[in-house]
Amino acid sequence: MFNNAEFKGKRVLITGASRGIGRKIALAFAEEGCYVTAVARSKEQLDDLIHTISTKGLKGTAIQCDVTLEKQVIDTVLKAQNIMGDIDILINCAGIFKVTPSVEAAFEEWNEILETNLNGTFLFCREVSRIMIKNKRGKIINFGSLLSYTGFPERAAYAASKGGVLQLSKVLGIEWAKHGINVNTLIPGMIEVETPHPVKSITKEHIINRIPNGKYGMPADVIGPTLFLASSHSDYINGQALVVDGGWLSNGYI
């Protein structure tokens, strides 16, 4: 897509790569000439991704990891480093989403969402930052959501977690800028994936009516902006967010 020589040989670790947006991004970075380590829990889906990458003659490896577990995150980063070398680009895409009236929300569900979306992102940032600080360079892209900015009924834990990701990325961006590391948030709008996000009380038609571009985004719409944030073209962008939503967030009309 970018066909940018600067990506050739770069080492990328991406979480949430077994399906959805993360899978497409992993493939795109491999196609740019990167060595990709794909991280998620589902072995079969990861193996399928690596099979696709290697049949194209590209480089990739898979590591099974639950991002909520500190020891697994630490081991995964070490393993990725042993296999492909120091990590140049980290993409935290793993995330879960649930719709529950807050008054009924079980504490287990609250914790699961915060632990996956926020704690998992923090743990990978912390572990990979040690490599990037040593090398005095690195790009980190964390996945937020429209709910990093706006509220939405029955999505308290998700909104809290994604608001947290946005704030976390700002702090890490300014803290590690002196080490040559950029930490930014990618904010996808409504993106069509195989496992659709439950919307319950609202219809798909209602959502589309609110999107100025008039349609859901596709994972492919997120690839270019992610590559941009991982490239030298965005070296002076730090602690920022890039919103890829067909205008949804700017639209106060409906």
Q: By the criterion CB under 6 A, which residues form the site for ligand NDP?
A: 15-22, 40-42, 45, 65-68, 93-97, 116, 143, 145, 188, 190-191, 193, 195, 197
Q: Go through 133-144 and write b for each residue having 16 or more CB atoms within 10 A of its CB, e for each that does not.
A: eeeeebbbbbbb
Q: Which two tokens stand for residue 98?
A: 């649930």
**Least spacing, CB of residue 31 vs ligand NDP, in Å:** 18
- Give whichever of 16 and 246 is closer to ligand NDP, judged by the CB atom: 16
**Least spacing, CB of residue 73 vs ligand NDP, in Å:** 9
Q: Closest by alpha carbon to 192, among 216, 215, 173, 159? A: 216
One-letter amino acid for residue 200 of the chain: K
**Least spacing, CB of residue 214 vs ligand NDP, in Å:** 16
Q: Is 216 a catalytic residue?
A: no
- Give whichever of 96 and 237 is closer to ligand NDP, judged by the CB atom: 96
Q: What is the DSSP letter of 117?
A: I
- Give whichever of 86 and 112 is closer to ligand NDP, judged by the CB atom: 112
Of 149, 158, 216, 236, the active-site residue reads 158
Assign 3-class secondary structure to 43-76: HHHHHHHHHHHHHCCCEEEEEECCCCCHHHHHHH
- Give whichever of 98 and 137 is closer to ligand NDP, judged by the CB atom: 98
Could you give the CA distance from residue 108 to residue 115 in angstroms, rounded to a whole number?
A: 10
**Least spacing, CB of residue 69 vs ligand NDP, in Å:** 8
- Give whichever of 76 and 178 is closer to ligand NDP, judged by the CB atom: 76
Q: Which two tokens stand for residue 167?
A: 């704030």
**Least spacing, CB of residue 8 vs ligand NDP, in Å:** 26
138-143 vs 89-92, strand pairing mode: parallel
**Least spacing, CB of residue 70 vs ligand NDP, in Å:** 12
One-letter amino acid for residue 138 of the chain: G
Could you give the CA distance from residue 219 to residue 22 in angstroms, rounded to a whole number?
A: 8
Sign of CA dihedral 98, 229, 128, 50: positive
Assign 3-class secondary structure to 93-110: CCCCCCCCCHHHCCHHHH
- Give whichever of 136 and 247 is closer to ligand NDP, judged by the CB atom: 247
Which active-site residues does the annotation give?
158
